[in-house]
Amino acid sequence: MACSVQNVTFNQDRSLFSVSTNDGLKVFSAEPLLQKCCVDGIGSIGKTAMLNCTNLLAIISGENNPRFSNNVVQIWDDRTKSFVMKYVFPEKVLNVKMSEDKIFMVFKTKVYVYTFPNNSQLLFQVDTSANPLGLCQFCPTLTKHLLVVLGQVIGSLQLIHLPKVGINKSRCPSTIRAHKTGLACMTINDQGTIIATASKKGTLIRLFDTQKHQKIAELRRGSGQALIHCINFNKDSSLLCAVSDTGTVHIFAIKDVILNYHSAFAVVGIVVPFQQYTSSLWSFCNFAVSSDSCCVCAFGSKQSVIAVCADGTFHKYVFTTRGACVREGYGVFLKLGDKKDF
């Protein structure tokens, strides 16, 4: 059977990406592009989550040729080359996230939070609106551990500061009404201060302050509907990249917003019927990678963006703040062999 990619996911610092296939999983470093780990013969894998750059990976079974049920999350230890933990649930698991001391299981209308990895036990669960994409984000910083899940109202978010939460302790999540329609993508910056969201319409990306719960910017991907697959900030949150099913990666300036393009109507101060359309910020740089498969994107070293696509291709583009963009690297990662384990 040919190796078919089911899902691609970056680790927390975007230095590694995992590839879930119909016969196992692979882990690659992004800079340089090298295969770091290969686990074959464990059946179709739907999702893989990495714990930073450690040897632990959380695995959810895929739909084709599965070796275990999709209501099970297995923990793989690449040092011992074996499964070392297992979580079993009464329903299908849609996504899984890990931190140094917690693991998050995402279902259609709820999220479970467990201690991890030692003496793992359920801390609490959060009820959400319908979440078929398994959206969930977590930001561990020195000052806060912020969990973001869907709210109980469509288009809204719940923000939970986890240090204040323990077993049987009460919770009072903060709520942000992000969009009128359901969400398709969201992410948190490394500092835990900004959340970026996109609705299923995919024309806008909205940024929200996690302390004040207010919208701080609105970025326009385009005028036509699209499904945004991935959004990521750079390390100092001065830039943001996003990629959709149109196969185009957009780069926005978050701090120096004057770098972004603005509508000509907004620049001259003309009020038009579509004022919201003209007042949002357009990306100062973009490049095309693939319109035939799902892609994820993240910032690389210096001024570069990396895009990894489900068709097995890897792209690296360097850019300038004036919008110039040149491809610096390209590869077919599925053809790479092992170079080094974790």
Q: Round to whole Å and give the CA distance between 322 and 336.
A: 35
Which tokens in the block code for residue 161?
Answer: 């500061």
pLDDT digits (tens, 9 = 90+) for 54-74: 999 999 999 888 999 999 999
Using CA atoms, how far residue 68 sits from 6, 74, 98, 325, 337, in Å, is 16, 9, 20, 44, 26
Using CA atoms, how far residue 125 sits from 24, 103, 166, 213, in Å, is 30, 12, 11, 22
List phi, psi (to 5°) of 144.
-155, 150
- pLDDT value at position 39? 95
pLDDT digits (tens, 9 = 90+) for 312-339: 999 999 999 999 999 999 999 988 776 5
pLDDT digits (tens, 9 = 90+) for 156-178: 999 998 876 666 665 678 999 99
What average pLDDT does range 38-52 have in this prediction?
94
pLDDT digits (tens, 9 = 90+) for 181-239: 999 999 999 999 999 999 999 999 999 999 999 999 999 998 889 999 999 999 999 99
User: What confidence category does residue 15 fall into, taking pLDDT thresholds of 50, 70 and 90?
Assistant: very high
Q: What's the whole-model pTM score? A: 0.90
Q: Domains (ranges, CATH) in the chain?
A: 100-226 (2.130.10.10)
CB 228 within 8 A of CB 185: yes
- pLDDT value at position 269? 43
